[in-house]
A and B are shown apart, each in its own frame.
Chain A
């Protein structure tokens, strides 16, 4: 690796880090909670540590605790994982272009594409002269490191930790609001944002908190497909 390469990588790290600070707060909090939850459910810290490194998807990891406590049913675990993670299909479709020409890093970028890394990498205005591939790599790697270290420490310390951080989880909501707003301000027309909003709220009311994601995704896909002509004619999305 040449000196120039190294300085490129370093510059990308410096550009990427500030974007991940809110994730640090959110992932450490949620990761610790997850590690503690595993610890008090009777699992050694190896479990949250290895699961956060390999699955790297918060909501499924919480569900996986219940799977591990129940009866052995690998097919159920697989279908549940597919359903909980189905939204990543949408992320992949949106990132097809952005992950192009990133070399070997592409595989890691896809592997580590959680909600937060996708959202940042999709919307971040990467400064001129910064290598895009390395920028996205650092966003993804830092986020995974936060989640991994938080859940490992939670698993190690368990219920020894006492919290006075009630409400800190709101940091994730606030981040998605900001990302939504950034995207909104970039667009001239807001049809697709409205479709997403109406579909999610409608399905949440109809199907309830535990079962609304899949119907929401189907509805979004149907609305975007049926409305393709008018949406494309109106144009205006970034």
Chain B
């Protein structure tokens, strides 16, 4: 259990809230909707998402080690299944559910 006082805990949590909200609100404060957004920032707004989605996938997989354990094979197979299902049916829920069930079966029964 923690050694902090309640006030110290509240301040610590408040700092986490403050840091989070600073990052979420900052772009909207800097580029208000009254003034036109600079072209460079408009460009970033269009160019960033694809790069960010790639980054989020890598973020989810950051603890996968291809050299040891299951060598990331359950992840690889399941992601390929997600891609295959999605290109085939283009049904978001089906692709996600299919890949997740595949992954759970693989790590619970195949790569034990």
Contact = CB atoms under 8 A, between A and B. Distances in A.
A130 interface: no
A209 B15 contact: no
Interface of B: 1-4, 8-9, 11-13, 15-28, 31, 33, 37, 40-41, 43-63, 74-75, 78-79, 82-83, 86-87, 92-93, 95-97, 99-100, 103-104, 106-108
A60 interface: yes
Interface stretch (A7-15, A75-83, A131-139, A152-160): A75-83
B8 A72 contact: yes
B105 to A, nearest CB: 8
- 5 closest A-B pairs by CB: A81-B19, A196-B51, A92-B27, A196-B54, A42-B1
Contacts of B17: 54-55, 81
Given A167-B108, A171-B96, A110 B28 contact: yes
Could you tell me the dominant secondary structure of chain A's interface residues? helix
Contacts of A35: none
Contacts, number: 260
A149 interface: no
A175 B95 CA distance: 8
Contact of A204 (B27, B62, B79): B62
B63 A92 contact: no
A50 interface: yes
Given A55-B16, A67-B16, A173 B57 contact: yes
A126 interface: no
Nearest to A72: B8
A80 B56 CA distance: 19
Contacts of A69: 1-2
Contact of A87 (B37, B52, B103, B108): B52
A78 B13 CA distance: 9
B18 A81 contact: yes
B5 to A, nearest CB: 8
Given A110-B24, A220-B55, 16 more contacts: A22-B96, A69-B1, A72-B12, A74-B12, A85-B23, A89-B26, A174-B95, A174-B96, A177-B86, A182-B86, A183-B50, A193-B54, A194-B54, A204-B62, A216-B55, A216-B58
